[in-house]
Amino acid sequence: MKLRYIKYFLVIIVFAYACKKSEDIEEKVETFLGFQTPKNFPETAYNFANNPITKEGFELGRMLFYEPRLSRDNTITCGSCHIQASAFTQHGHDVSHGIDDRLGTRNSPPIMNLAWSKAFMWGGGIYDLDLFPISPITAHEEMDESLENVLNKLSAMDKYKSKFKAAFGKANITTANFLKALSQFMLMCVSSNAKYDKVMRKDDNVSFTAVELEGYELFTQKCASCHTEPLFTDNGFRNNGLAPSAINDLGLYTATLLNADKYKFKVPSLRNLKYTAPYMHDGRFLTLDAVFMHYTHEVQATENLDPLLNKNGARGISINNDEKTKLMAFLNTLNDEDFINNKLLAEQ
């Protein structure tokens, strides 16, 4: 008899809890919080004053991000090479796989924390996020479409006319508003909820395990000068001593023609490594083990090798197996499940 009451009681509690939870979710969906700088992050680099983020603008941007009409034959979206489940990279592809099965020359980088970025692309060349989408849209091996034609295709659709009107007050689709909407979506792709972030913000008293903490200390000694916290990139361009590839990609030099920029590539963030293999600008390393192997044993003395990787005549970084285990434990705290599961960023 007694047991039965307890059962009923439990069922009621479960119901009540379920109700409460769904209400919370509903509330979350209804209130659009806009762009918020995480407590443990620095000031942003993007000029928000020129493109304030609104619910309508963000939603339009999201629609455009997943819109196949951005490509010549309406088959490829931004999301094709920037898959949320892979932290907005193209998992399993060393270099990006675009239209007509054409292959690019570089690994598709994550759409993540771009509000803090001052330069874009592995090899630079673009310094304003608003101008970024022109590159993949017009690249022969990516979307192979003209911006003009994209705007024509979208302008023929009533759905976009009303969305643009809602977002920017004008149904007429201009280059500027098209690009700004895409920026709004990309800017909202913020990854700041990894265990590391919770530890730093002291959320719910989350703390590192002993091995993670040791890993963190090793990280600050051996890695942090380039992979600076909390974005885990200094947003600079460096030559990390990779052997030049068959196509001899000269990196930043291609955009600046300065000899001092040869073989320099953008320092990638170390966030979400669990989801973003393969690694490096051309995806040459399939595992983190291979990345460690590079830094410990395989750094090449190429032109402009970063001095940090060539100290006292010894190339690379000395990391023993025990240290590697600890570093791996720390790097694991940079994986942000909320980011890859955030429904707000998914195709609707």
Partner 1 sequence: MKKILSTIIITSILFTACKKDNATPDFDEQNLASLSVEFDNIVGGRTLTFDNTAVPYTNATGEKFTISSIQYFISNIQVTTTAGKQFTVPQDSSYFLIKGADRATRFAKVKVPEGDYSKLTFVLGVDSLRSTMSVDKRTGVLDPAAGGHDGGGMYWGWNSGYIFFKFEGNSEVITNDQLGDPTGKKQFKYHIGGFGGYSAPTINNIRTITVDLTNAGIAKVRKDRQSNIHLFVDLMKFFNGTNTFSIKTHPTVMFSEYSTSIANNFKDLFTHDHTEN
Is residue 149 at the binding interface for partner 1, with CB under 8 A as the rule? yes
Is residue 235 at the binding interface for partner 1, with CB under 8 A as the rule? no
Options 60-68, 144-152, 286-294, 328-336: segment touching partner 1 (CB under 8 A)? 144-152
Q: Say how far apart CA 210 and CA 196 lie, in whole Å.
A: 14
User: Which of 161, 201 has the CB closer to partner 1?
Assistant: 161
Half-sphere exposure in the Cβ direction for 127 (13 Å, CA): 6
Instruction: State which of residues 137, 167, 199, 288 lies at the interface with partner 1 (CB under 8 A).
Output: 137
Is residue 12 at the binding interface for partner 1, with CB under 8 A as the rule? no
Is residue 172 at the binding interface for partner 1, with CB under 8 A as the rule? no
Options 133-141, 158-166, 191-199, 201-209: segment touching partner 1 (CB under 8 A)? 133-141
CB 308 within 8 A of CB 226: yes
Binding mask 296-335 for partner 1 (x = CB under 8 A): ----------------------------------------
Q: Which ranges of the chain would DSSP assign to H, the alpha helix? A: 2-30, 55-65, 78-81, 134-138, 147-155, 158-168, 175-188, 195-201, 210-222, 253-256, 288-293, 321-332, 337-341
Measured at the CA of 69, the angle between CA 68 and CA 75, to 5 degrees, comes to 45
Is residue 36 at the binding interface for partner 1, with CB under 8 A as the rule? no
Instruction: State which of residues 63, 78, 121, 199 lies at the interface with partner 1 (CB under 8 A).
Output: 121
Is residue 128 at the binding interface for partner 1, with CB under 8 A as the rule? yes
CB 265 within 8 A of CB 122: yes
User: Which of 217, 234 has the CB closer to partner 1?
Assistant: 234
Q: How far is the CB of 153 from partner 1 (least distance, A)?
A: 12
Tokens found for residue 195: 């265990």
Q: How far is the CB of 65 from partner 1 (least distance, A)?
A: 17
Whether the CA torsion 168, 171, 175, 178 is positive or negative: it is positive
Q: How far is the CB of 120 from partner 1 (least distance, A)?
A: 9
Instruction: State which of residues 175, 228, 310, 332 lies at the interface with partner 1 (CB under 8 A).
Output: 175
CA-nearest of 193, 191, 189, 163 to 177 is 163
Tokens found for residue 259: 């000899």
Instruction: State which of residues 45, 126, 166, 226 lies at the interface with partner 1 (CB under 8 A).
Output: 126
R_g over Cα of the chain: 23
